[in-house]
Amino acid sequence: MLTCTYISKGKFALVEKPKPVIQHERDAVVRVTLASICSSDLHIKHGSVPRAVEGVTVGHEMVGIVEETGSAVTHVKPGDRVTVNVETFCGECFFCKRGYVNNCTDKNGGWALGCRIDGGQAEYVRVPFADTGLNKIPDCVTDRQALLVGDVLATGFWAARISEITEEDTVLIIGAGPTGICTLLCVMLKNPKRIIVCEKDVERIRFVKEHYPEVLTVTPDRCLEFVKDNSEHGGADVVLEVAGANTTFSLAWKCARPNGLVTVVALYDSPQILPLPDMYGKNLTFKTGGVDGCDCDETLSLIAEGKINTEPLITHTYPLERIEEAYDIFENRKDGVIKIAVECRAQDNS
């Protein structure tokens, strides 16, 4: 079967590999229908994910049809249409039982697919712990509508969930890339009084204005002043930092009001400074980390009810055979790209 494989730093290539097989009783093999390209794939390509294994098939955000299940799998069966979770988790350890699945202590736990084990920019993918890693897609939800459920939408949903947003709040979201927009969609479900999105890219600002006209937008250079002018208590009640640029961490805490909450979703390339003397007396609460992606059934229900729609984010579609063109568009942010869907349908009888 055809796969998009991490060859070495700086190089992905289309490579033929054998179709994966069940290796463990809790595995499933999924025939991938649609995969997407994520900025984490680019981090692998650039060699900034030390755990990524050369030779691995990349891709960790996909939907497909269950082809085969191990003997211990009970929640899904062959023929089920499913989303695949970016995180592999056992569902049984101390952290999993509390919903902190990002910290699953199983040796295969965490971000494995498309990083440490073969992922989903391929015709088939083997998914460990299939009962926790796969979620059935409701009949009324299309593959395209469900494509982002396992990764960027999971991240946005988690970020909004842990941010303790109330209907009185002014919420600032820094960054309107795919994860930032998914965060926006999930913050909107909380009905805060006001949402401000800070983004430097004009195309992305245009996208937010076009699709979510009720949201205020601002560029980073004017953000601090704008947030103070558009909030009641000297800053945003809640700030979600989803950009991960060099200056956005300090922008995030500076824009928060005293006793506000700052949720850091972004993954930075370098350490950030937490200048405690400067922020002394501001009494902020920080929440940080990687997504606990265990709410996919809930997000699929919200999509089915029409309350979340991530389809406009999919700006481009390419077949797997042409994924190198898709990477070029995505990596170089050409043509107003936000997300790219990759059609991976295997040939019949292959």
Residues of this chain that bind Zn ion (CB under 5 A): 38, 40, 89-90, 93, 96, 104, 151
Q: Residue for token digits 């299309």?
A: 142
Which tokens hold the place of 145? 């509508």
Q: How far is the C-alpha of 175 from the C-alpha of 154, rounded, in Å?
A: 16
Compute the least distance from the CB of residue 94 to Zn ion, in Å: 8
Q: How far is the C-alpha of 76 from the C-alpha of 134, rounded, in Å?
A: 8
Compute the least distance from the CB of residue 90 to Zn ion, in Å: 4
Compute the least distance from the CB of residue 88 to Zn ion, in Å: 9
- Backbone phi, then psi, for 324, in 5-degree steps? -65, -40
Q: How far is the C-alpha of 128 from the C-alpha of 69, rounded, in Å?
A: 10
CB 293 within 8 A of CB 316: no
Q: Which residue's CB is nearer to Zn ion, number 68 or number 151? A: 151
Compute the least distance from the CB of residue 60 to Zn ion, in Å: 5
Compute the least distance from the CB of residue 308 to Zn ion, in Å: 18
CB 344 within 8 A of CB 34: yes
Q: Which residue's CB is nearer to Zn ion, number 235 or number 293? A: 293
Compute the least distance from the CB of residue 340 to Zn ion, in Å: 13
Q: Which residue's CB is nearer to Zn ion, number 38 or number 197? A: 38
Q: Residue for token digits 């202590």?
A: 105
Q: Which residue's CB is nearer to Zn ion, number 152 or number 239? A: 152
Element (H, E) at 227: helix 220-229
Quick one: DSSP state of residue 284? Answer: -
Is 25 in a helix, a strand, or coil? coil
Cα separations in angstroms, 131 against 71, 73, 112, 127, 182: 11, 6, 16, 9, 25
Q: Which residue's CB is nearer to Zn ion, number 89 or number 124? A: 89
Q: How far is the C-alpha of 251 from the C-alpha of 97, rounded, in Å?
A: 35
Q: Which residue's CB is nearer to Zn ion, number 99 or number 258? A: 99
Compute the least distance from the CB of residue 7 to Zn ion, in Å: 20
Q: Which residue's CB is nearer to Zn ion, number 251 or number 308? A: 308
Compute the least distance from the CB of residue 86 to Zn ion, in Å: 6
CB 316 within 8 A of CB 326: yes
Q: Is the dihedral of CA 158, 310, 247, 266 positive or negative?
A: positive
Q: Which residue's CB is nearer to Zn ion, number 24 or number 282? A: 24
User: Cα–Cα–Cα angle for 234, 157, 345, nearest 5°?
Assistant: 145
